[in-house]
């Protein structure tokens, strides 16, 4: 049996709330298994853009990233958020190292094509350098990854943090039993978005297909779940989706939505 590793994505709403963030980071630091944190930037980038009078345009939850906006997300994600998170983790005795996708050539991406829509400096993940991650992890460091990648030609690109978490998880399946955790402000995948009691505890591809056809899972949840199921298809052992505030229970698999490839594998 391989050693376990947890790839944990922390959602934007938690980043925006310093109290919730500190609480989450304390729980993250306490996880004794090997682990990697992937974060987004929350609303800080949008706020800074507003202060600098740089108009922002979002399409289906994705930010159109012109040259000025690229500077802003690089500053906010790879600078302010990443270093604040690392400093907090260090204070909780977790030997974190903050990186973006350009550091150690961790994540190569390709600038998204402009056929449908010009997203600007947005990159789609091409390759994760798992050797770099293994070097960090095997030397006792906990990588904290900001969602900025590069094209290998000197250009930084803004990249979706959910996708980065999935790509990192997938890249490590030869070396670890990989658990991918998407933690955010909700209990998990809900049948009724306003009712925590409607949590789906286990989701397999057949059930997912059914719920989607019935229109019970929709909008923003679909790309997240497509991402998660492709991670599982690529060898990730388990994907858990749930509330950041319950991280320690979430990691144990006792709450949230667990995604699996096997029907009824978990009760």
- The phi, psi pair for 142, rounded to 5°, reads -110, 105
Tell me how far, at minimum, the Cβ of 48 lies from a copy of itself, in Å. 8
In the complex with a copy of itself, which residue's Cβ is closer, 49 or 251? 49
Which of 55, 152, 201, 220: binder of a copy of itself (CB under 8 A)?
A: 152
Tell me how far, at minimum, the Cβ of 120 lies from a copy of itself, in Å. 16
DSSP SS3 for 118: coil
In the complex with a copy of itself, which residue's Cβ is closer, 44 or 240? 44
Tell me how far, at minimum, the Cβ of 95 lies from a copy of itself, in Å. 6
In the complex with a copy of itself, which residue's Cβ is closer, 175 or 212? 175
Which of 46, 65, 69, 100: binder of a copy of itself (CB under 8 A)?
A: 100
Task: Yes or no: say if 148 and 156 are a contact pair by the CB < 8 Å rule.
Answer: yes
Residue whose token pair is 């990697």: 36
In the complex with a copy of itself, which residue's Cβ is closer, 148 or 217? 148
Please provide the size of the chain in residues. 267
Which of 31, 80, 110, 207: binder of a copy of itself (CB under 8 A)?
A: 80
Distance CA 261, CA 242 (A): 18
Q: What angle do CA 29, 131, 85 make, to 5 degrees?
A: 25
User: Is residue 59 within the footprint of a copy of itself (CB under 8 A)?
Assistant: no
Tell me how far, at minimum, the Cβ of 219 lies from a copy of itself, in Å. 31
Stretch that binds a copy of itself, among 2-10, 90-98, 213-221, 236-244 (CB under 8 A): 90-98
Distance CA 89, CA 228 (A): 26
Tell me how far, at minimum, the Cβ of 238 lies from a copy of itself, in Å. 29
Q: Which region holds residue 251: left if phi is over 0, alpha if psi is between -120 and 50, else beta?
A: alpha
Task: Yes or no: say if 152 and 127 are a contact pair by the CB < 8 Å rule.
Answer: no
Residue whose token pair is 């983790």: 89
Stretch that binds a copy of itself, among 61-69, 86-94, 211-219, 252-260 (CB under 8 A): 86-94
> How many Cβ atoms from other residues are within 10 Å of residue 149's Cβ?
31
Cα Rg of the chain, angstroms: 18
Judged by the rule CB under 8 A, the positions of this chain that interact with a copy of itself are: 51-52, 71, 74-80, 82-84, 86-88, 90-91, 95-100, 102-105, 135, 139, 141, 148, 150, 152-156
């Amino acid at each position: 049996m391989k050693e376990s590793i947890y790839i944990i994505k922390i959602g934007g709403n938690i980043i925006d709330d310093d109290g919730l963030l500190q609480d989450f980071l304390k729980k993250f630091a306490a996880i004794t298994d090997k682990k990697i944190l992937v974060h987004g930037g929350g609303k800080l980038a949008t706020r800074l853009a507003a202060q600098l009078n740089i108009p922002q345009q979002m399409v289906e939850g994705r930010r159109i990233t012109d040259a000025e906006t690229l500077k802003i997300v690089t500053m906010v994600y790879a600078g302010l958020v990443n270093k604040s998170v690392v400093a907090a983790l260090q204070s909780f005795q977790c030997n974190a190292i903050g990186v973006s996708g350009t550091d150690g050539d961790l994540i190569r991406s390709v600038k998204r094509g402009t056929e449908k829509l010009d997203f600007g400096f947005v990159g789609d993940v091409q390759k994760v350098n798992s050797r770099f991650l293994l070097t960090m992890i095997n030397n006792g460091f906990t990588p904290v990854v900001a969602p900025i990648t590069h094209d290998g030609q000197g250009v930084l690109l803004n990249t979706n943090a959910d996708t980065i978490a999935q790509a990192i998880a997938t890249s490590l399946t030869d070396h670890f039993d990989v658990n991918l955790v998407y933690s955010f402000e909700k209990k998990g995948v809900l049948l009724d978005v306003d009712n925590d009691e409607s949590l789906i505890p286990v989701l397999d591809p057949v059930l997912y297909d059914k719920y989607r056809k019935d229109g019970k899972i929709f909008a923003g949840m679909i790309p997240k779940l497509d991402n998660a199921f492709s991670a599982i298809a690529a060898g990730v052992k388990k994907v858990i989706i749930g509330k950041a505030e319950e991280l320690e229970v979430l990691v144990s698999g006792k709450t949230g939505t667990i995604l699996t490839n096997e029907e009824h594998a978990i009760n």
